[in-house]
Amino acid sequence: MQRKEWNKKIKVWQIIVCGILVFVLATLGVLQIGVAYTEKNWEHWYPDYEKIDLSPILEKQTLEEADYDTIYRQTGLTKLAVDDMRDENGVAQIFRIQEFLFQPHKVKIIHFNPFTYAEEIDGVAEFAYFRDGDIIVTATTRVSWWRYGHAAMVVDGANGLIIESLEPGSKSRINSVDDFSYLANFMILRPKVAEPLKAQIVDYAKKEMIGIPYRLTTGIFFKKYDENGLRYSQCAHFVWYAYKKFGIDLDFNGGAIVKPQDIALSPHVELVQAFGFNFDKLWA
């Protein structure tokens, strides 16, 4: 009798184990199908109009709104970027950005693991001038079917340094913004925050937010906001937390998980530069 009961228990456990294995294998299969499907569906955006000579516009002492609009469509640079660069002898950089935008680029897939990858180009993009506290986002990172993207915050604009929560198994650290220059798209965003407060936010991030473990589920299994300090984070949540600590909520929809797109859509940020995004739609 005891032997029969024991055999029944073994069979039950065998069924449970087999069910778990089938579920795991099916999940991995779906994820792999997602990778195979989405890898072939990237459409890199280019201007569908002619490149023009911006010299007559940039030589003007004062620009009008129509001038700024023309420069934006030729470079992806907004008034914020153009004014910064004209004030700091950056006109040559504006021309380089225009030149790079109109060049054709091949896009390749770079895998981080079997189910996560990013789209990169075969060139190095040119950036507008950064200010401390700026945010840079990209839509290129995918997890199987899910286009999540990536985000980071500029902590030393003069030297192109960012602070970011990078990937599973890593801890937040300071890196070079150059890593974004290889990606197939990016946006530089400037929070509508007074410069002295932004300086405090950047200082806090550099002193208190280095070495934070990455957790994609922050906001679901871990608190979205903890007044006692940041224990776990992921890229967009990391940037959001730095500003939220000082009373600025950059999460567009207020959901449990903060995504790079939520920050890009926030009414509390302004566009500085776009590359690889449709200038009319951006990350809508």
Per-residue pLDDT tens digits of the chain, which is 284 residues long: 556 666 565 665 656 655 555 444 444 344 445 455 555 566 678 899 999 999 999 999 999 999 999 999 999 999 999 999 999 889 999 999 999 999 988 888 777 666 677 888 989 999 999 999 999 999 988 776 567 889 999 999 999 999 999 888 889 999 999 999 999 999 999 999 999 999 999 999 999 999 999 988 888 877 788 887 889 999 999 999 999 999 999 999 988 889 999 999 999 999 999 999 999 999 87
What is the distance between the alpha carbons of residues 83 and 129, in angstroms, rounded to a whole number?
Answer: 10
| Nearest Cα to Cα of residue 146 among 275, 30, 276 | 30
**Total-model pTM:** 0.86
Q: Within its chain, how far is the Cα of 85 from the centroid?
A: 23
Q: Where do the DSSP E strands lie in the chain?
A: 107-113, 116-121, 135-138, 142-143, 146-147, 150-156, 161-164, 173-176, 186-191, 269-275
205-240 per-residue burial string, b: 16 or more CB within 10 A, e: under 16: bbeebeebbbbbebbeebebeeeeebebbbbbbbbb
Distance CA 98, CA 75 (A): 5
Angle at 276 between CA 274 and CA 278, to 5 degrees: 80
Domain formed by 55-275, architecture: Alpha-Beta Complex (3.90)
Q: How far apart are the first and last CA of the chain?
A: 66
DSSP 6: H
Q: Rounded to 5 degrees, what are φ and ψ at 90?
A: -110, 20
Which CA distances in Å does 60 have to 56, 75, 91, 175?
7, 17, 12, 37
pLDDT of residue 136: 98
**What per-residue confidence (pLDDT) applies to 92?**
96
Find the helix or strand (DSSP H, E) in which 24 lies. Answer: helix 2-39
Residue 271 phi/psi, 5-degree rounding, is -75, 135
Segment holding 97, helix H or strand E: helix 91-102
Number of residues in the chain: 284
* E strand intervals along 1-67: none
